[in-house]
Structure 1
Amino acid sequence: MRRRTALALIPALCVPPARRAAAQATFPDRPLRMVIPFTAGGSNDIVGRMIAEGMGTRLGQSVIVENRGGAGGVIGSEAVARAPKDGYTFLLGGSGSFLISSLVQPRVPYDIIRDFAPIGFIGAAPAVIAVNPRVAATTLAELRGLARSGGTPVSYASPGVGTTGHLLGALMAQVFGAEMDHVPYRGTGPAMTDVIAGRVQVITNAAAPFLPHIAAGTLRALAVASPRRLAILPDVPTTAEAGFPDILSATWYGLLAPAGTPPDRIATLHAALAATLADGSVQRRLAEEGAEVEPSPQPADFGRYIAEDRARWQQVVTRTNIRAE
């Protein structure tokens, strides 16, 4: 090598490796992909697209939403677990499609702790416990009394076997010390229709679909399964206020990447998510979906939340032997 050429290379060789890497590749430098493990149109899809739009603006690249529904969320989640570990593909994970599905589905081809890297928590929509207004219960304590009366078991509707609504009903039965009949449906809509008609007595779900029916008097809200009251239902007590602090449940949302994604890319995605969640318009739109924004300070905080929530629901699944069909 000529001396002049060697001298010309010295400044480049003296640049720290991190700065050289940054100069060679800026993340992201092309569109990203958010996988939503549900078909389009539901609450998960609405929340995911809202977050994708906000993050895309802050990252300077489009975040393309890909709906991959099926198998209770397993198909979409597996697609992300097996995706390249480069930060360009991430999952809108949720309490039902990601966590509970991993506990009740017969075959899950991934481990939600080992095979995913948490990016950040988005927020949670606490479950509202509601009944048909003809049910002789205006409080959760009265519902327990009805369930323990020794007559026909109280029935509760859910969007399907192994869903959040199914597990919350099972948790209520455990806490009440009573038998309750589970009536599964194919989605929240038909379940709510039958409760309003009086064919089933109890239903639990995020608040948003219930609001018009509560206002019209065709559903009666007994409690919110959350430590705090909901701003959109300020007169409905929490389960703790009603005397049942162990009955807690929410439909939560968060972002996850494949395990092994570089930490600096996770940090970039986390920062874009945090900035999106700090936007007042995003907060208002999420509130309309019944979700309370709760950004995690660091990705690891979301990881700890997942582990703790899985341990809590694992106890319910083990005691009741719930399995998706």
Structure 2
Amino acid sequence: MIARRAALGLLALPGLARAQGRPIRLIIPFTAGGSNDIVGRILAEGMSARLGQPIVIENRGGAGGILGNDIVAKAAPDGTTILLAGSGSFVISSLVHPRVPYDVANGFAPIGLLGAAPNVIAVHPSVPAGNLAELGAFARGKNPPLTFGTPGAGTTAHALGAMIALTLGFELDAIHYRGTAPALTDVVAGRVQMITNAAAPFLPFLSAGTLRAIAIAGRQRASILPELRTSFEQGFPQIDSATWYGLLAPAGTPVEATARLHAAMNATLADPVVRSRLIENGVELETSPTPADFGRFVASERERWAVIVQRANLRAD
């Protein structure tokens, strides 16, 4: 019923041109196969059906999300180019890189929040650690330092790695990739020892025993991995991080266009089938009532992460 009402609301928006036949580009600022890609494709499928327009996925990985963000910032503000933004790829990346080629605060128009996925801390099975305390004990005595794969400098995973190292008191050698999938490949192969990410891409490797999860980085267990203890339960409440997802458009996109996209997004997320698919992939759903609400959320996240980045002295290489 909620989805039907929202879909009907799309038709009632006054003066809104549908631009039939023109596909919408959804820029995902990471390579295919990672959690951002999984979430973006599920969302795009549902929104396309409700908008009556194809949504074409473009994976533009690099620089922790900055390359993809820049494409959207410089696109025509007509509602046909949108960005799957995240806590790392949009917020943290702009804090750890000394300069970004767009205006983070004013270069984008908010559309809406999708939700967040708790981050899982995992290691290659050769690492003798089944929990955070054991990880700290192992890593503190390791020379050279423990290696840590990230989806890119400035991602949530990069910041979370620094948070873990600071809390547990060891050095970490961060190795940056162009997305989760290549980083995960090297961890599973044993070339890198540790990784953090939303749970979805980890699941087949956890089941196969080629990857070991040691904690959820937060206060609540994840429904997708109900037996995995949290960092709070293990006595390390300082380790607290989730990856959130939302949609942005270029600054100057007409209000009617962002409202239409916001309505299609929320109608999609109200669909029980879509909700089930996202929950199965580790996403805890939370929508924003209006695009402006999402804009305020992004601004508050930037303030929160700025403190963490400064305390960790986190900088892109």
Normalised to the residue count of structure 2, the TM-score between the two structures is: 0.82
Does the C-alpha gap of structure 1 residues 150 and 75 become closer, same or farther in structure 2, counting only changes over 3 Å? closer
Separation of aligned partners in 1, 2:145 and 2:61: 34
Picking from 167, 191, 203, the partner of 1:175 is 167
Alignment-mate amino acid for residue 260 of structure 2: T
2:26 is matched with 35
Higher relative contact order (CA 8 A, sep 6+): 2
1:96 is matched with 88
Does the C-alpha gap of structure 1 residues 111 and 282 become closer, same or farther in structure 2, counting only changes over 3 Å? same
Q: CA deviation at 1:238?
A: 1.7
Separation of aligned partners in 2, 1:220 and 1:83: 41
Picking from 116, 134, 149, the partner of 1:142 is 134
Extract unaligned runs of 5+ from structure 1: 1-20
Q: CA deviation at 1:119?
A: 0.9
Within a 5 Å distance, the mapping from 1:252-291 to structure 2 comes to 252-291=244-283
Alignment-mate amino acid for residue 81 of structure 2: T
Say whether residues 1:126 and 2:132 are aligned partners.
no
1:168-217 per-residue CA deviation (whole Å, 9 max, x = no partner) reads 11111122233333344554445434444555432212212221222233
Say whether residues 1:220 and 2:220 are aligned partners.
no
Larger Rg: 1
Does the C-alpha gap of structure 1 residues 88 and 154 become closer, same or farther in structure 2, counting only changes over 3 Å? closer
2:6 is matched with none
Say whether residues 1:249 and 2:241 are aligned partners.
yes
Normalised to the residue count of structure 1, the TM-score between the two structures is: 0.80
Alignment-mate amino acid for residue 18 of structure 2: P
Separation of aligned partners in 2, 1:148 and 1:32: 52
Calculate percent identity across the aligned residue pairs: 58
Q: CA deviation at 1:286?
A: 2.0
1:11 is matched with none
Separation of aligned partners in 2, 1:191 and 1:259: 32
Bigger Cα displacement from structure 2, 177-186 vs 144-153? 144-153
Q: CA deviation at 1:40?
A: 6.2
1:17-72 per-residue CA deviation (whole Å, 9 max, x = no partner) reads xxxx93xx333343352331446633333432332232222223333444444444
Does the C-alpha gap of structure 1 residues 195 and 257 become closer, same or farther in structure 2, counting only changes over 3 Å? closer
Q: CA deviation at 1:289?
A: 3.1
Q: Would you say the 8 A contact 2:95–2:309 is kept in 1?
A: yes
Separation of aligned partners in 1, 2:131 and 2:84: 35
Separation of aligned partners in 2, 1:191 and 1:59: 35
Say whether residues 1:206 and 2:208 are aligned partners.
no
Separation of aligned partners in 2, 1:243 and 1:317: 22
1:111-144 per-residue CA deviation (whole Å, 9 max, x = no partner) reads 2222212111112222111123343332223323
Q: Would you say the 8 A contact 1:157–1:191 is kept in 2?
A: yes
Separation of aligned partners in 1, 2:89 and 2:228: 27
1:311 is matched with 303
1:77-116 per-residue CA deviation (whole Å, 9 max, x = no partner) reads 2232233434343222123332222223343122222221
Number of aligned positions between the proteins: 303
Q: Would you say the 8 A contact 2:33–2:201 is kept in 1?
A: no
1:231 is matched with 223
Does the C-alpha gap of structure 1 residues 138 and 120 become closer, same or farther in structure 2, counting only changes over 3 Å? same
Alignment-mate amino acid for residue 99 of structure 1: V
Say whether residues 1:26 and 2:16 are aligned partners.
yes
Q: CA deviation at 1:226?
A: 3.1
Q: CA deviation at 1:277?
A: 0.5
Separation of aligned partners in 1, 2:128 and 2:65: 37
Separation of aligned partners in 1, 2:153 and 2:305: 15
Instruction: Give the root-mean-square deviation of aligned CA atoms.
Output: 2.9
